[in-house]
Structure 1
């Protein structure tokens, strides 16, 4: 196990570097210049009626700002310097307001972690029972109805669902059951009792959680159903039933336990996917999380913030894959990494 971990960590490091090279190149070569954007509201926005000497000063100021931000260097030099800072846990300063990027991320991180942790619990809490029910009741009315509903949910894009929820349930043209944006009520008071503050917080997160989870549990429930239907046909399941083992034990111990591997494997990819999807959710519901921060940074061409969030997402993806591989050993003792090449 130790040798396997060392090999995997080494490969994860190389993979992370390769991912950051691609991401850094895409971000820096994308249309738009943060320096031009910074000066777009000043004299550089037009030339009619502007003193030529003043324009020369503006151009000189642009060059000075590019030099200060390091944007005048070749792309590979910029990347090496950026990677060196990242390896020393220095995410740099925002181009937009010169604040430390880490401070901006630290302010937004609790909301995103809370939202996605709750979404993960809800997703698995619904997907596993629903998948078991569909597999056990194959061909029944319950299975057909759940299959129809799940496929309908999985086919709906989250941005459209979020928009429809705001229109119909969040004080649009119809019902006003849930708040359309923010984390607290307009009359929120920090002196409220804990239960009231918690209720207000969850009331504001209810619809974002719904939009975040419906597609994930629909997908995972289908994965578990397919896996259980395949395991049900195995000889050891028929043998257990022939020995008189109760159906409950057969399902939970023999079928479910051997069908859970795809669910564990998807766990490593689901968390980064939820964080990436939070860009849409947080933007639609105006939640001050990491996703909304990334959206604002892209619009402002705030390279340090964009690259920092990209790096965090990439690292989470790689670590999530490693954790899911390690969890397989706990789920299925037959799996061993001893002597297995990375």
Structure 2
């Protein structure tokens, strides 16, 4: 019963958080300057006031703010994200079409940055004060200081234009419809490599420096000195006494950075013409397509919540003492 109450309480908190996020998103989006009806009227070539009034009435834009908010929250509860003004399609369909590529890019960048940060941070921490430590720290600092869009353009210039190793833009080749499964998967992987590196590089730099500092701190603790005094090998000490304790702050910080990672996908998808939610967000902003923007913001918020839950589980796996507290 205690476990069941805990699960119910957690789920209730998640639902409440989603509704609060939806309310804040709706308020902020509708507070922005610009009128969707004017944009739609301009695209259709008609700008008279009567046509604008008809458009506002058709999409409920003429109703009071609180009425619009209540209608939107009712739809959110029923998993209805509305209808796109511009693309004339349900928002659910638009997001489902783009969600797969965004998840692939974001999760690839997340695990690449986390694993790379732990590996390089461990190497730097174990070689503290030596040339390899200085080299890794310098590269991490340079990556952290490099703008994401500039790094993406440089990678395209080097690996796509100069070396011609990898494709510069898109999700798959134009001939992908004739590919077999393995050939299709390999083509997607080739297109994914540069965007994932671009998106994950800055976070890999952060996790590298954090892992290095954490490992140096753990190495000075008494239990590590005791294990070394008992004659344990350095490999056993690293695996059994240092890595788990040192990796815990990195995993915690990575969970907190998921929101920024998802936000960074907007820039990366635009640079690489990646057909995900980032490109859809950019198009929706320029067209003032409020339902699409609200749907994307809500889905991204839910993704952040889910990843944070997974991060909590990973923390308990790394350090079982957390589950006891």
TM-score with structure 2 length normalisation? 0.92
Q: Which moved more, 1:74-83 or 1:135-144?
A: 74-83
Alignment match, 2:15: 13
Look up the SS of the partner of 1:99 in the other structure: coil
Report deviation, 1:134.
Answer: 0.9
Counterpart CA distance in 1 for 2:22 and 2:65 is 13
1:156 matched to 2:146? yes
Alignment match, 2:41: 39
Q: 1:208 to 1:74 in 2, by over 3 A?
A: same
1:274 aligned to 250, 261, 274, which one? 261
Q: Which moved more, 1:189-198 or 1:99-108?
A: 189-198
Report deviation, 1:105.
Answer: 1.0
Report deviation, 1:116.
Answer: 2.0
Alignment match, 1:184: 172
1:113 matched to 2:103? yes
After superposition, what is the alpha-carbon deviation per residue over 1:109-128, rounded to whole angstroms, capped at 9, x for unaligned?
Answer: 11112222222332233121
Mapped contact 1:179–1:204 kept (Cα < 8 A): yes
1:254 matched to 2:238? no
Q: Which moved more, 1:315-324 or 1:209-218?
A: 315-324
Counterpart CA distance in 2 for 1:264 and 1:224 is 10
Q: How does 1:14-29 map to 2 (within 5 A)?
A: 14-29=16-31
Alignment match, 2:294: 307
Counterpart CA distance in 1 for 2:115 and 2:44 is 54
Q: How does 1:285-296 map to 2 (within 5 A)?
A: 285-296=272-283
Aligned-residue RMSD, C-alpha: 2.1
After superposition, what is the alpha-carbon deviation per residue over 1:239-265, rounded to whole angstroms, capped at 9, x for unaligned?
Answer: 111111111111111011112211221
Alignment match, 2:120: 130
2:192 aligned to 201, 205, 209, which one? 205
Q: How does 1:68-107 map to 2 (within 5 A)?
A: 68-107=58-97
Alignment match, 1:48: none
Mapped contact 2:118–2:247 kept (Cα < 8 A): no
Unaligned runs of 5+ in 1: 46-57
Alignment match, 2:316: 329
Report deviation, 1:295.
Answer: 1.0
Report deviation, 1:285.
Answer: 1.0
Report deviation, 1:43.
Answer: 5.5
Report deviation, 1:15.
Answer: 2.9
TM-score with structure 1 length normalisation? 0.87
Look up the SS of the partner of 1:40 in the other structure: helix
Q: 1:334 to 1:177 in 2, by over 3 A?
A: closer
Matched residues, number: 323
Counterpart CA distance in 2 for 1:13 and 1:219 is 32
Unaligned runs of 5+ in 2: none
Mapped contact 1:108–1:288 kept (Cα < 8 A): yes
Mapped contact 2:251–2:311 kept (Cα < 8 A): yes
Mapped contact 1:4–1:337 kept (Cα < 8 A): no
Specify the structure having the higher radius of gyration (Cα): 1
